Amino acid sequence: MPVFIRDYTDFYSSKNHAYNIGVMFRGVDNALQPNWLHLPVGYHGRASSIVIDGTPITRPKGQKTDDGKTPYWSACKLLDFELEMGTIIGKGNNLSEPIKVEDARDHIFGFTMLNDWSARDLQKWEYVPLGPFNAKNFASTISPWVVTPEALAPFKTALPVQEPALLPYLQDKDLSAYDIQLSVSIKTPQSDAWHVLTNSNMKHLYYSVAQTISHHTVTGCNLSAGDMLGSGTISATEKSGYGSMVELCWAGKEPIILPSGEERKFLLDGDEVNMTGVCKGNGFTVGFGDCRGKILPAKDDSNWF
């Protein structure tokens, strides 16, 4: 691990991803919740289960339901990846002293790739009313390199205008991200070759990292050196750039056909996922290394209870 991650918060900063998920489960008219365009939605994640590139991921088990009422115990059947960027905090703030959005970038040490593995069937049952819990806490994978803002400076790019206007504490005069080419590939037990599932870019975020830092601390919450903030799934506008399996297969309605002829709706045991991020300059590149994880079968729980 490149840093000891003290605490972890995951945001939901890509409008394309939030809209896609909303359309799937609430319809076009209610795709975005009323608060989404006014604040960067987030939840407190689990720092202890963040692992480094190459660490195997054991399929989780938990409660889920088919009828929305009666739970049963099962291995996750809808295992997914989420293509994200992680922000490592380099300088914290004192309790009760919020970080202003114009000062937020001074608190960033660097960035890493982040795969926030998700158990979609567990999540569907548990997330009402307080959001993800066991569906997200079993593992998140990061790449081994932390790339500093100074190294990424040549690739800075403006983010789209935010409408409606945000409250003053969130208004970022330097509303920007970086032109980082993001890619997710899969290798199955039946194929030795990697197949690209999606190509996205950090510039498809709606909220800036500075805005997530400011919002996180506006109540007086204190961040610490080593904390990590997840961007949330970064999806492009086109299907070829969606940042999760649930979007790529549209909640299982549109199976993904791999070159080997295999079909995927969600990840199966033995599948290996790799995420990469690259900035391409004039005669040079800046990369984040691999962010890989191979899915292992769920463990036998006959002796648990």
**Residue 169 Cα distances to 32, 161, 209, angstroms:** 22, 16, 14
Can you tell me which residue has the tokens 């990469």?
A: 276
Cα separation, 257 vs 252, in Å, equals: 12
**Residue 275 Cα distances to 83, 114, 195, 248, angstroms:** 7, 8, 12, 16
Map residue 205 onto helix, strand or coil: coil
Closest CA to 280 of 176, 182, 193: 182
Active-site hit among 17, 107, 204, 216: 17
Which H or E run includes 123? helix 120-126
Q: Yes or no: say if 9 and 213 are a contact pair by the CB < 8 Å rule.
A: no
State the virtual CA torsion across 103, 104, 106, 110 in degrees, nearest 10.
-170
Taking only Cα atoms into account, the Rg of the chain, rounded to an integer number of angstroms, comes to 19
Catalytic, 17? Answer yes
**Residue 183 Cα distances to 88, 127, 277, angstroms:** 21, 28, 7
Residues marked active site are found at 17
